[in-house]
Amino acid sequence: MRCDHCREAVSATLDDEDPGVAPSVVAGHLAHCAPCAAFADDLADLHRLVRVRAAEPVPDLSQAILAAAEPVAPRSTTAAARGWLRYGLVVIGLTLIALAVPTLLAEQGTSSIHLSRELGTFEFAFGAGLLFAAWQPERARGVLPMAAVLGGGLVLTAAIDVLQSRSTPLGESVHLLELAGVGLLALLARLDTTARVRRRIVMA
């Protein structure tokens, strides 16, 4: 075996490539060729030096990241706040559903019965969404956009009716429940999002 072929085979083996010859042939040549054996030793040392080396220094940014993150309340306080928010959503959700059921079941002979039932359906869906968020707080962020649009639309139309003397403030005050529900939903979504960010930082 020629020395140049032996050295190519040694280099290919260290690079996890096919040397093109059987390992026993290379080993036999190295056993009888001092220059090739020295070349193999030097190449192995160089290969080990390149692969095994100290990691480059990386600045520790953990304190800066934690300092920039929003302060999070202790776990016990967070759990208590989440519990109260969920309880509030349950109360408001059940109240909205209870107010919507009579409208859905009412038998009126006027032409506005269809519109009344549609409004009752919206109220029922709003209450059901709040109950769903209370049941699965991690879903609050997903429920929030539709709840905000629906609740805001109901409050806006109620305000217009009051300004145009089609209704009274007392009669439309029920829509304050939607505003309260959206507020509690937003707080729960923010609390859950902040807790997730905090967990990612701690795990990192």
pLDDT tens digits, residue range 66-125?
Answer: 677 655 555 566 778 888 899 999 999 999 899 888 877 766 555 566 667 777 788 888
Q: What is the pLDDT of residue 198?
A: 52
Q: What is the pLDDT of residue 73?
A: 53
Q: Whole-angstrom Cα distance, residue 92 to residue 98?
A: 10
Q: Where does residue 119 rank: exposed (0-12), middle (13-18), buried (19+ CB within 10 A)?
A: middle
From 68-72, 184-188, 192-196, 198-202, the region with the lowest mean pLDDT: 198-202
Does 100 lie in the same domain as 16?
no
Q: Identify the band that residue 202 occupies on the pLDDT scale cut at 50, 70 and 90.
A: very low
Does 18 lie in the same domain as 102?
no
**Long-range contacts formed by 95-103: CB under 8 A, 24+ apart:** 95/127, 95/177, 96/123, 96/124, 96/126, 96/127, 96/130, 96/177, 96/178, 96/181, 97/123, 97/124, 97/127, 97/128, 97/131, 99/123, 99/174, 100/124, 100/127
How many domains would you assign to the chain? Answer: 2
pLDDT in tens, 26-75: 777 777 888 888 877 887 777 776 666 566 677 777 777 767 765 555 55
Q: What is the biggest distance separating any 2 CA atoms in the chain, rounded to whole angstroms?
A: 110
**Percent of the chain beyond pLDDT 70?**
77
Does 160 lie in the same domain as 116?
yes
- Residue range of the domain that includes 167: 64-203
Does 80 lie in the same domain as 14?
no
Tokens of 26: 């290379």
**Percent of the chain beyond pLDDT 90?**
6
Does 167 lie in the same domain as 78?
yes
- Residue 192: inside a domain: yes
Q: Whole-angstrom Cα distance, residue 93 to residue 91?
A: 6
Q: What is the pLDDT of residue 95?
A: 92
- Residue 130 above 50 pLDDT? yes
The Cβ-side half-sphere exposure at 140, using a 13 Å CA radius, reads: 27
Q: What is the pLDDT of residue 92?
A: 92
pTM (two decimals): 0.51
Q: What is the mean pLDDT of the chain?
A: 77
* Selection from 128, 124, 175, 181 nearest residue 153 by Cα: 175
More confident residue, 179 or 21: 179
Does 117 lie in the same domain as 96?
yes
Does 178 lie in the same domain as 89?
yes
Does 86 lie in the same domain as 37?
no
The mean per-residue pLDDT over the stretch 12-17 comes to 74
